[in-house]
Chains A and B, each alone.
Chain A
Amino acid sequence: MKQVHEGSHAVSEAVRLARVQVISAYPITPQTHIVEALSDYCADGRLDARFLCVESEHSAMAAAIGASLGGVRAFTATSSHGLAYMHELLHWAAGSRLPIVMAEVNRALGPGWNIWTDQTDSLSQRDTGWIQLYCEDGQDALDTTLMAFGLAEMLNLPVMVVLDAFFLSHTYEPVDVPDQDSVDRLLPPFAPRFRLDCEHAFNFGQMVPPARYMEMRYNLQLAMQAAEAGFAQLAAKFEELFGRRPQAVEALACADAQIVLVTSGTVTSTCRQVVRDLRRNGEKVGLLKIGMFRPFPADSVRRHLSRAAKVAVVDRNFSFGAGGIFAQEVRAALCNRQGHAPVFSYVAGLGGRDITPRTLMEIYDQTRRTATPPDESIWIGLDAEQVKTWRN
């Protein structure tokens, strides 16, 4: 049934429909609406779950780990500094192979203190062993959250569902909220592969000597490698039930495109319009939306970019001393293929600055006019006067 929800509440609805049993959370803007709604659902009985008001994000993830190892479906949500504070436990959740799902609302890290959207918080966690799925709009947020539980439990890996602050978390849109019976068919009751159990006692998370540690890490990587196929398998079932097919990577007009713009998150919606407008003017441009960042769907990315003459990656994030993070991943995916397209790395919209159709048009034009991409990322929309004022 179509309802009007903000992006945050689209996630809350999915968590309710997934019949999560334990939620632990600590407030941080702009994530708070997600858990406020869930707290209401627990209070009024719409969701039969324990809601733990913990005293920090570190504890929020620790409690989720305790609950998940106790054998229940567990969820938490955070943003920015909260996610950074959790960092140690992200490793712990993945290393423990626990299918925890977390919503993470992209927000810039301070200082400067900034509550607006920026992907550097979640991308800083890329090596923790979490699957990361980036959402474009409200429907995507709901669908991806449902997919996240299925995928997590299929692979025994935690999944992060990532949303842009405000542009998605606080924006109201019509969202098709599925009925409980259908969701129950997608997500049967959680049947943990292992759990804390007095009848079958194990020592979980204990010391592991060098002779055994590496194999455990490799097994985690094998699970990661199975994630894209697992996603597709689950997406097929999802489509049967709901008539929509979630995609890890979506290619729009890439088949004959000279230049392909690569985006993630809400920028994708803006870019769809830009691609339509450019196509109307006869420009051979395509769009590649990357929904799944970890594991990085390198095969799909290579396939969709194989015919492009140039690739332009739009990053709302930055790795200091290196460049835009999606651009690095795209380059890494292509670099061992002969004759691959040059990859332009554009950085835009940090700390919640708007990325408008004009911004994307500028990126397209610059890519079209330039034969070879510079080694460094190209920062779009910088104010030269401000840069000069604060320069070393």
Chain B
Amino acid sequence: MAQLTLDKESPMLSGHLGCPGCGAAIAMKFALQGLGEKTMVVLPASCWGVISGPYPQSSLKIPIMNMAFATAGAAASGLRAALEMTGRGDTTVLSWAGDGGTFDIGLQSLSGAVERNEDCIFVCYDNEAYMNTGVQRSSATPFGMRTTTTPGGRWKRTRKKNIVEILAAHRIPYAATASIGFAADMIAKFKKAAALKGGSRFIHVFASCPTGWRIPSEASVKVARLAVESNVFPLYEVEDGVRYTINHHGRRKVAEYLEGQGRFRHLSAQDIATIQAQVDAQWAFLRRRAQEET
């Protein structure tokens, strides 16, 4: 098995304000290992608005522009234009939004930005609910999850929105999924995205949230790995909106992934079977997209 060594000198500093085991913090560390220090981060309202530190501190060595919730795509576009007008076009603009800032309130401005094929890397670090405000459901919340706005027996009965398909439908040069459970794959994808400079690149990062998912903090990475291994969150890439490549084939059952996560504890065997069927159908759909034999 190949060994992965993380850079000792990371643009992300220790002492950030993430919860123990925060997948979003791990995600940033991996992303910046791929992108390097010539990067500027646009941060709409999200957990990362806290993790990055209150005035006058910062948990990143690179410039950060915090912005209003709905604006990541547009703010990154304006910054991109300014960098080009001031001879700094080689700087990477990294738009770093949560699932709320991508799937919900930020979708319009993101769609606008990628339709213009803005030369930025747009990341959704997805912890599957509004975690910063106390675990409310978003359109990235999966079927079956309990949140504070889908409580008790009213757990979420609709499926998670397929954000990569939406981005791919804009025919952008590069869209991909990545996971904090697959560090080498994730860092390689950020390097690849950086190398594809010139147009819009989108990376959907699976970032576990021990607090909101009701898992032990040390289980963060393990749960993220299981999401990929069970094909709940497949790793794949879409080039120019049409060329699909699956990076990893999971062999495990969904039940193994759901087990031990407090957010799914209420599900019956039948509910779990429903989710397994959804995942199987989605996996088959993805494999057809990738022109794999099914």
Contact = CB atoms under 8 A, between A and B. Distances in A.
Contact of A52 (B58, B64, B78): B78
A55 B112 contact: yes
A33 to B, nearest CB: 23
Given A58-B109, A63-B77, A197-B63, A203 B52 contact: yes
Contact of B54 (A50, A196, A206): A206
Contacts of B65: 66, 69, 196, 204-205
Contacts of A212: 55
A197 B53 CA distance: 19
B58 A206 contact: yes
Given A203-B64, A207-B49, A207-B50, A50 B81 contact: yes
Interface in A182-206: 196-198, 201-206
B98 interface: no
Interface in A201-242: 201-209, 212
A22 B108 contact: no
A208 B111 CA distance: 30
A58 B113 CA distance: 13
Contacts of A62: 67-68, 70-71, 74-75, 78, 109
Contact of A54 (B55, B70, B77): B77
Contacts, number: 160
Interface stretch (A70-78, A133-141, A272-280, A281-289): A70-78
B37 interface: yes
A59 interface: yes
A203 B57 contact: yes
Nearest to A53: B116
Contact of B78 (A56, A74, A206, A208): A74
Interface string B12-45: 0000000000000000000000000111101000
B86 interface: yes
A207 B56 CA distance: 9
A64 B71 contact: no
Given A201-B61, A206-B55, A22 B74 contact: no
Contact of B66 (A197, A204, A209): A204
Contacts of A55: 74, 108-109, 111-112, 115
A173 B219 CA distance: 71
A88 interface: yes
Contacts of B81: 21-22, 50, 52, 63, 66-67, 70, 72
Contacts of A206: 49, 52-55, 58, 64, 66
B85 A21 contact: yes
Nearest to A207: B54
Contacts of B255: none
B79 interface: yes
Contacts of A74: 78, 82
A212 B56 CA distance: 10
A305 interface: no
Contacts of A22: 78, 81-82, 85
Nearest to A20: B85
A262 interface: no
Contacts of B73: 59
Nearest to A51: B81
B82 A56 contact: no
Contacts of B271: none
B91 interface: yes
Contacts of B60: 201, 203
A106 interface: no
A65 interface: yes
B76 interface: yes
Contacts of A209: 54-55
B256 interface: no
Contacts of A203: 52-53, 55, 57-58, 60, 63-64, 66
A52 B77 CA distance: 8
B100 to A, nearest CB: 15
Contacts of A72: 81-82, 85-86
A330 interface: no
B78 A198 contact: no
Contacts of B63: 196-198, 201-204
A363 interface: no
Contacts of A207: 49-50, 53-55
A65 B77 CA distance: 10
- Of A52, A54, A70, A71, most buried by chain B (CB within 10 Å of CB) is A70
Contacts of B85: 21-22, 49-50, 72
Q: What 4 A-B pairs have minimum CB-CB distances, sorted nearest first?
A: A70-B82, A66-B78, A55-B112, A63-B78
Given A59-B108, A206-B54, 19 more contacts: A56-B112, A58-B71, A59-B71, A62-B68, A62-B74, A65-B71, A65-B78, A66-B65, A66-B80, A71-B86, A72-B86, A89-B71, A198-B39, A198-B91, A203-B52, A203-B66, A206-B52, A206-B53, A206-B58
Interface of B: 37-40, 42, 49-50, 52-55, 57-58, 60-68, 70-71, 73-86, 88, 91, 108-109, 111-112, 115-116
Interface of A: 21-22, 24, 49-50, 52-56, 58-60, 62-72, 74, 88-89, 92, 196-198, 201-209, 212
15 contacts: A21-B86, A49-B85, A55-B112, A58-B70, A58-B71, A59-B77, A65-B75, A70-B81, A71-B82, A196-B79, A198-B40, A203-B53, A204-B63, A205-B67, A208-B54
